[in-house]
Amino acid sequence: MQLPKLKVLAEAGAVREVEVIHDQAAGGWTVQVTYASRHGERREVLERQRGGARVFTTLDAVARALAGLGLTVFRVNATGLAGAVEDPP
């Protein structure tokens, strides 16, 4: 899914969840969006214009991009991030 489609879904109120996931192999953060469709819920990765997952360098960049679409709440999954604690105390 690219940003224009996400904007339409956000404006329609169809977005159910946004999860930002640290992707160590890609060296940044990817965004997965769960939204309502005619056939139930679907989950898609935010993509670049030329295909492939869109990778953000910082969480701040993710927050700015999502806020620009009216999506101000998202969940962060930092599993695998260097220095992240696997099991909190």
Report pLDDT for 25.
Answer: 87
Query: Closest Cα to residue 35, out of 66, 77, 5, 75?
Result: 5
The domain segmentation of the chain, as residue ranges, is: 3-77
pTM: 0.85
pLDDT digits (tens, 9 = 90+) for 6-63: 999 999 999 999 999 999 888 899 999 999 999 999 999 999 999 899 999 999 999 9
Q: What is the spatial distance between Cα 15 and Cα 28, in angstroms, rounded to a whole number?
A: 23
